[in-house]
């Protein structure tokens, strides 16, 4: 299962914000630390804000911060917000459908659907806080 770069960027932006939580983070600082362009970050922030993950403050003392506690934001939720193909379990509904042409196709679709569901379930069990804690512990060692 492959995720787009936008999904990876979104998780990195949220992880940075989680490390600063509840303080505001400047987009320029996020860009410098993550290596993601400011243009990409602004685009992501718009989507992340619409999904309720971040809130923004404009102006010279503005920035972005998490709208929820880091432990409340699940990676699966972020992926669904960024990648339309995973919204509402996107292809899983189709894959688990009873509509395919042949029995082989139906079984293949069910198998793929179970795989996608398992993938999303694993992402749903992982919070942004968990990612930050694991990387902080690894960096401290």
What pLDDT, in 10s, does the model give residues 26-66?
Answer: 999 999 999 999 999 999 999 999 999 999 999 888 899 99
Is residue 70 within 8 A of residue 132, CB to CB? The reply is yes
Q: What are phi and psi of 125, to 5 degrees?
A: -85, -10
What pTM did the predictor assign?
0.81
Residue 115 has pLDDT above 80, yes or no: yes
Domain extent listing, the chain: 5-140
Is the Cα dihedral 118, 66, 53, 85 positive or negative? negative
pLDDT reading at 93 higher than 70: no
CB atoms within 10 A of CB 101: 7
pLDDT at residue 90, rounded to an integer: 43
Q: Is the preceding omega at residue 22 within 30 degrees of 0, hence cis?
A: yes
Does the domain at 5-140 match CATH 1.10.10.10? Answer given as yes
Q: Classify 67 as helix, strand or coil.
A: coil
| pLDDT for res 89 | 46
């Amino acid at each position: 299962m492959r995720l787009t770069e936008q999904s990876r960027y979104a998780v990195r932006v949220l992880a940075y914000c989680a490390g600063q939580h509840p303080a505001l983070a400047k987009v320029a600082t996020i860009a410098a630390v993550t290596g993601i362009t400011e243009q990409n970050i602004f685009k992501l922030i718009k989507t992340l804000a619409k999904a309720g993950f971040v809130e923004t403050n404009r102006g010279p003392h503005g920035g972005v911060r998490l709208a929820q506690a880091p432990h409340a934001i699940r990676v699966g939720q972020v992926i669904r917000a960024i990648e339309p193909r995973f919204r509402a379990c996107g292809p899983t509904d189709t894959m688990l459908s009873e509509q395919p042409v042949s029995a082989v196709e139906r079984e293949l679709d069910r198998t793929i659907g179970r795989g996608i569901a398992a993938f999303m379930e694993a992402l749903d069990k992982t919070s942004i806080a968990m990612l930050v804690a694991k990387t902080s512990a690894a960096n401290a060692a």
